[in-house]
Amino acid sequence: MKKNKLLIIGLIVTLSLMIIIVALTFFELQRDYFSNTIKNAEGEVLYEISSNATEYQKLIFTELSDVIENEGTPQEYAGSVVKNYVADFYTWSNKKGTYDIGGMQYVYQPEIVNIYNYAKDFFYRDLSYNIQTLGTENLLEVENVEITFSDFNAKIEYNGQMYQSFYVTASWTYVQKEGFDTTGYQTSGEFSLIDRDGKIEIYRYYGE
């Protein structure tokens, strides 16, 4: 009986240590992956940027932070969200594989699974293969994003709630790299966004 108790105690201690190690490992991975955050007035994290972001991504992430901190117009806020989404989603040069879909933090949460799965099955489908054959650094990298239109749209009912919506159009270019032809890849799109409790997010995206 005493041996059984000692065995149970030993198992509990071992499991506890394993949970602590896993939690610490996850924390370290998160800390390594995200190098900077944008928070609201209550200290809640709105957006994060990965530690391996391109220089252009870092630049426009700072622009988004400035728009929020300096209380820019809602149109500027919506446009900046789209710029950051495009720069992350359409850049492959800092991704780890087909599963590493960029821009999801800028998407309205109930739509993340749909957009993630669609991207994984189509735009990101061959990314792992391209990384192996061409090298990550030689793949798509967004060079610049231009917001061509950004304004209020009608209030909409979405998932049983009313939201202020925005309509934004954008065009973008890619860094030209030897050995990778960017011809045929998407360079413009239309976006619908909503203001969800002070955080603007993409809920619809219409390609070329």
Burial class of residue 14 (count of CB atoms within 10 Å of its CB; 0-12, 13-18, 19+):
exposed
Task: Indicate the helix (H) or strand (E) that contains 45.
Answer: strand 45-50
Of 58, 78, 59, the residue nearest 68 (C-alpha): 78
- Assess contact for 60 and 85: CB atoms under 8 A: no
- pLDDT at residue 208, as a whole number: 62
What pLDDT does residue 157 have? 86
- The pLDDT of residue 156: 86
What is the pLDDT tens value at each position of the chain, 208 positions in all? 555 555 555 555 454 444 443 333 333 434 444 458 898 888 888 999 988 999 999 999 999 999 999 989 999 999 999 999 999 999 999 999 999 999 999 999 899 999 999 999 999 999 999 999 999 999 999 999 999 999 999 898 877 889 999 999 999 999 999 889 999 999 999 999 999 989 999 999 886 6
Question: pLDDT value at position 9?
Answer: 57
Compute the radius of gyration of the chain from its Cα atoms: 21
pLDDT value at position 11?
Answer: 53
Is the CB of residue 54 less than 8 Å from the CB of residue 93? yes
Report the pLDDT value the prediction gives residue 15, as an integer from 0 to 100.
47
The string over 96-119, giving b where at least 16 C-beta atoms fall within 10 Å of a residue's C-beta and e elsewhere, is eebeebbbbbbbbeebeeebbeeb
